[in-house]
């Protein structure tokens, strides 16, 4: 009989296509461990992510129990808890799936060295990307900086490996009593809000867990994938996959998504164009992790260091108005209210809201990134900062800083009937379509019957668009002159 094994769950909260779990389960009894890392080395999860994690861990525990396994929860520093656990359990094999932020990479290296020195076999696996960040390079062997050649090189590597099924059976390892002091009950992790309980909208909008991820993928491939290439930009239509939080917590793997999407394309060739576009969005996620791995300070430091001299303003009042969805620009405010209510925002609106904060308000992209990190259920350590830097112009392959989204024209183009705005800003819902994206231009005879008093029931614009644009371009000019 083999010695027991330990599998360390992190951003891979699933049974299927989980190579670390498969490797451990194939050897014999296995301790399935999740540690809420509260060490100072890692970035603390935001509130919405903590809520999702709580529900996802509960779903994982149920899935493991159905296979005969058991999820053990601990809180603390993995660098301390994992060696303590392996010693107490007399474990000779430890496996985990890799993470790619700088702190996790360093922790993995240190743990692997420490455990190996104790005679323990350690395996780390690639489970949450199609390609490891070091596998796609320029012809000179250096990291990629532009998406299109990156994705071309990634595709040239061939089709991703087929996903593996979940283990048929998992033999739980009884915990030694000496570990009791480290083990916590699910509720003791205190991941969900109590007072006030702000998560009602999240509970209505989402089903965290592996089963929820499979259902979301199936629903998408059966419906919204048709016409995705165009509908994905329309916040007034259900045109996106909504898989991002499931991917963020590893409830489904990119390989599972890839092969399911390709199977749908083979079955329905007319969908292949939409599927290719959808898979290119998975490619952007891959590129973001490539950037994060090679630039560990992506969430705090400008990728383009010229932006270190950028003259950002400090304006707490404007920042709070943006956060609360009270800027006076309906498409921006609708997005920010959707975010607060559901923990998610349509991607097109994310770009509009981010551009407004950075360029019309001239506030540092890091302030926006931090707010999204706290409020998004899909707050991703790579996607979130990479996307904010893309909008700011400071990132890799970024939109030029002088590309400034006009929230009025963006709203009119992508929410032409105002359905999205009306859903999230009911106080202006009675306005005509021609006024819904710029209520300050509506006549008094239009505002009064709609029950709108600008500055009272809905705010006046907090910045003039032309003024904000000129100010942003002037700020960019000072950067260029340095």
Positions marked active-site: 281, 284, 312, 347, 365, 388
6 CB-near residues (< 8 Å, 6+ apart): 24, 30, 31, 33, 82, 85, 86, 89, 91, 93, 94, 95
CA neighbor of 157 nearest in space, from 184, 193, 183, 129: 129
381 CB-near residues (< 8 Å, 6+ apart): 43, 100, 101, 292, 299
- HEC secondary structure over 50-102: HHHHHHHHHHHHHHHHHCCCCEEEEEECHHHHHHHHHHHHCCCEEEEECCCCH
Name the 3-class secondary structure at 380. coil
Q: Give the span between the Cα atoms of 42 and 35, in whole angstroms.
A: 13
Cis check: omega of the bond before 296, within 30 degrees of 0: no
Q: Give the span between the Cα atoms of 130 and 392, in whole angstroms.
A: 27
Alpha-carbon distance values, 260 to 42, 211, 217, 254, 275 (Å): 33, 15, 8, 10, 10
Q: Give the span between the Cα atoms of 28 and 9, in whole angstroms.
A: 17
Q: How many residues does the chain have?
A: 482
Residue 281 buriedness (CB in 10 A; 0-12 / 13-18 / 19+): middle
What is the dihedral angle through the alpha carbons of 292, 296, 299, 303, rounded to the nearest 10 degrees?
Answer: -80
Q: Give the span between the Cα atoms of 336 and 328, in whole angstroms.
A: 12
Helix (H) or strand (E) run with residue 466 in it: helix 465-481
Q: Give the span between the Cα atoms of 246 and 344, in whole angstroms.
A: 12
Phi, psi of 172 (to 5 degrees): -70, 145
Euclidean distance between the first and final Cα of the chain, in Å?
A: 69
C-alpha 297: how far from its chain's center?
17
């Amino acid at each position: 009989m083999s010695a027991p094994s330990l599998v360390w769950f992190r951003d891979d909260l699933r049974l299927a296509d989980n190579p670390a779990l498969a490797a451990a389960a194939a050897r014999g009894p296995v301790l399935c461990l999740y540690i809420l890392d509260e060490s100072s080395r890692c970035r603390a999860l935001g509130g919405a992510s903590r809520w999702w994690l709580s529900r996802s861990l509960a779903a994982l525990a149920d899935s493991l129990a159905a296979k005969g396994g058991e999820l053990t929860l601990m809180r603390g520093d993995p660098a301390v808890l994992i060696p303590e656990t392996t010693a107490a359990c007399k474990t000779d094999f430890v496996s985990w799936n890799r993470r790619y932020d700088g702190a996790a990479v360093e922790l993995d290296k240190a743990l692997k060295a420490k455990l190996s020195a104790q005679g323990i076999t350690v395996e780390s696996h690639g489970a949450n990307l199609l390609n490891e960040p070091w596998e796609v390079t320029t012809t000179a062997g250096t990291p990629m900086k532009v998406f299109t050649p990156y994705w071309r090189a990634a595709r040239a590597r061939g089709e991703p490996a087929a996903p593996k099924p979940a283990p048929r059976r998992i033999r739980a390892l009884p915990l030694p009593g000496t570990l009791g002091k480290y083990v916590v009950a699910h509720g003791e992790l205190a991941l969900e809000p109590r007072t006030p309980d702000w998560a009602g909208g999240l509970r209505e909008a989402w089903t965290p867990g592996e089963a929820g991820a499979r259902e979301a993928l199936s629903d998408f491939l059966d419906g919204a994938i048709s016409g995705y290439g165009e509908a994905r930009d329309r916040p007034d239509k259900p045109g996106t996959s909504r898989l991002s939080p499931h991917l963020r917590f590893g409830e489904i793997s990119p390989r599972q998504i890839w092969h399911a999407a390709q199977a749908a394309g083979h079955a329905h060739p007319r969908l292949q164009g939409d599927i290719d576009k959808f898979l290119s969005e998975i490619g952007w996620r891959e590129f973001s992790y490539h950037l994060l791995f090679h630039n560990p300070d992506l969430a705090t430091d400008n990728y383009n260091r010229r932006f270190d001299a950028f003259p950002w303003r400090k304006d707490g009042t404007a920042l709070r108005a943006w956060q609360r969805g009270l800027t006076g620009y309906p498409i921006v405010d609708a997005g920010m209210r959707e975010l607060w209510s559901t923990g998610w925002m349509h991607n097109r609106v994310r770009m509009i809201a981010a551009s407004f904060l950075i360029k019309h308000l001239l506030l540092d992209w890091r302030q926006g990134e931090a707010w999204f990190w706290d409020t998004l259920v899909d707050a991703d350590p790579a996607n979130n900062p990479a996307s904010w830097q893309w909008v700011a112009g400071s990132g890799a392959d970024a939109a030029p800083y002088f590309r400034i989204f006009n929230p009025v024209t963006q709203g009119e183009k992508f929410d032409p009937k105002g359905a999205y705005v009306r859903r999230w800003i009911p106080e202006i819902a009675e306005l005509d379509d021609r006024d819904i994206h710029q209520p300050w231009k509506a006549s008094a005879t239009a505002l009064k019957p709609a029950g709108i008093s600008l500055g009272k029931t809905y705010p006046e614009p907090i910045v003039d668009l032309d003024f904000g644009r000129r100010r942003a371009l002037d700020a960019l000019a000072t950067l260029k002159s340095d």
